[in-house]
Structures are given as structure tokens and as C-alpha cells.
Amino acid sequence: MRRSLRFAVACLFTCLVVPTTPAEEVVVPALLDRPEVMSFIERMVEQHQFDRQGLYDLFNEAVFKPTILNVLDKPATSRPWYQFQTNFLTDAKVRDGVAYWRQHQVWLDKARQMFGVPPEIIVAILGVETNFGRNAGSFRAWDALTTIAFDYPRRAEYFQQELEQFLLLAREENKPPLTLKSSYAGALGSPQFMPSSYRKYAIDLDGDGRRDIWGHPADAVGSVAAYFNQYGWKADGMVAVRAQVSGNQVEQLLADKFNLHYTIDELATMGIKPVNALPGNEPAVVFMLETDPGVTEYWLGLTNFYAITRYNRSVNYAMAVNLLAQRLRIAYDDPIEAAPPRSSRPPARRGRAAS
């Protein structure tokens, strides 16, 4: 499950460069002649009682998307922070996020009451993912998933699993598979859940009997909060703090920046200390941001940072969400104070930093 969201979200940031013109669509006439496809179909029939002819019909409708394969190894999250953050920490993003927050206040408050995740974090996720639901993907999910599952060997096993989950999801939600839209990596809805994540974590927050993360903002909001709750989100906790570094162990720690193996006290013995006092038993990871060419800052990511990196295993992504959330909170409370930060440092504010 952890792989599912981080792959989908890492791929999401490059989706705008993927051509989708009809001239580049290639129907794969021999898909049903491929042994791996027939094996997949037989498994769906035997294990999940799908109709064999129905699956034949679906695979005959699959449209191969070669341009998807050209960008799978080039996630935009691999860019240095000073380039990456310019796409997300913008005045327009903050304005749109505050408007989304005010429009869906009742659901954001309900999600916080249920799961302890603050509105600014949920709104920031939706802003980074799909510009608050506006850009949730224009590919047929069936085309995207079949293309990667059977023509991208490095991730074939994973995407065949996601294709299986997609078919189960479509059946459970009573949705025709060919009608569902996704990102080019097969991520679904405003939160960009992969099918396995959708089945595990999407919720029906508005109580209408459906888990609709495309057309129902309530369900998108609640599903993001439910996801973070499952990965240990700490209500009222911080995400990250600046760190002071000494000694020669930082490089080793940077290589393990996505796992909470050490506490603040243990990191202090290795020369890594927070600039602000934190409980010594607080788990933390060390990471680095390149704020300008050749200029770096060291940070400590806390439990909530870890939770965000379960959504996407990228420090750039986690910090973009964190800092956008802080700006959203400031603008929501007092729009006059919503000035863009000059670096990765959180902007000045009155009271506690956003969690």
C-alpha cells in the first residue's frame, strides 16, 4: 500500500508533459494473445468470479499509451527543492486553497473531529495533488493501468496488482471500468489514490452510500484524513523543524530519511539537534533541502512528516504540503498576513505553527 500512493503522486507532477492527442493513441490488437494477459484474466475469473468474456471485451477496448512509458522514470519530485517548490507555494494556490477551505468547511471540520487531521493539511494535499480537484486526470484509468501493467516490466507486478484492485473497485462501486478517469499513472480522484488505496482508505463522509472521490469533495476530504490517521498522524503535532548539524554521521542518516528509527535524544548523540526544543523521545528523521544551487538546509521530520511521506516518499513533496498548509492557515485566519515565504523557512505568524 505504501508503494501505491508514493508512486502515483511522484508520477502525478509530470502529467502535464504527457501528450494525450489522439494521434499518439495506439490500439494494441494483440493484447489478448499475450500469455501474461491471459494469465491475468484467468486469475480474475478463478479468484474473483469475473466473467471471462466480459474481461475479453474490456481488454479489446484497451488503448496503448506509449507516451506514459516515456515519463515514468522522470518524477518531478527529483528536482532540487528551489525548483520544485515554485510550483506549489504560490499566492494563487493559497487563494484557491482558502476558497476551497471556506466552501467545504463543514466537511473539513468533520474530518478533523473524526481523525485529528487539520483542515490546512487536507487542503494542502488536495492542492498539491490536483489543484483542489480541478486536474484529477484525463486518461481512462483502464488505458493507463493496462499500458503500465503489461508494457513497463520494471513495475509490471505492482501494476498488475493495481489493475486487479481497479476491477474489484469498479465492481464494488458499481462503476463501468471504461468510464473512470485517472492520472497517467492510474491514480484516481481529487486525492489521487491508487485503486488499492481507494479500496482500503476511501470513506463515505457525506453518508450518501457512495465513496466518490471524484465528484464529492466531502468524500475526498474524509478519505485523505482517514489515510493519514492510519499512518499515525498526531493531532496538534508539528511536521518538521530546522536542525543544527555537527560531526560526520549526517550522510548516513540522510540515506535513511523515510524511516523513524531514532529519537531526538538519539540523534543528538550523533550531532543532529533541533533548533527548537522538542521532547527527547520524539521519533524523527533527518533530511536536507537545497534552497539555492549549492546551498542546503538540514531539517528534522517528525511523526507527521513520516505520515506525509507515506502518501509520497519525497521530502520535497512533504515539505511542499507542510509549507503550503502553513500559508493556508495564515491566510484563512488573517489574509493580510499571507505573504509568500522567501525560502523553505515557514513564514512568520502569530501563534503556533501549523501542524
Q: Which residues are annotated as catalytic?
A: 129
d(CA 289, CA 181): 34
How many beta carbons lie within 10 A of that of residue 157, not counting itself? 10
3-state per-residue secondary structure call for 113-161: HHHCCCHHHHHHHHHHHHCCCCCCCCEEHHHHHHHHHHHCHHHHHHHHH
193 within 8 A of 213, measured Cβ to Cβ: yes
d(CA 176, CA 174): 7
250 within 8 A of 271, measured Cβ to Cβ: yes
d(CA 344, CA 82): 8
Q: And the C-alpha cell for 2?
A: 505504501
CA distances in angstroms from 25 to 144, 147, 150, 186, 261, listed in the order given: 11, 11, 16, 16, 46
Using DSSP's 3-state secondary structure scheme, residue 326 falls into helix
The β-bridge partners of 224 are none
Q: Read off φ and ψ for residue 64, nearest 5 degrees.
A: -70, 135
Task: Name residues whose C-beta falls within 8 Å of residue 97's C-beta, 6 or more positions apart in sequence.
Answer: 123, 124, 127, 132, 324, 328, 331
DSSP label at 18?
Answer: S
Torsion on CA atoms 53, 54, 56, 62, rounded to nearest 10: 170
Residue type, 67: T
d(CA 278, CA 24): 54
d(CA 305, CA 260): 10
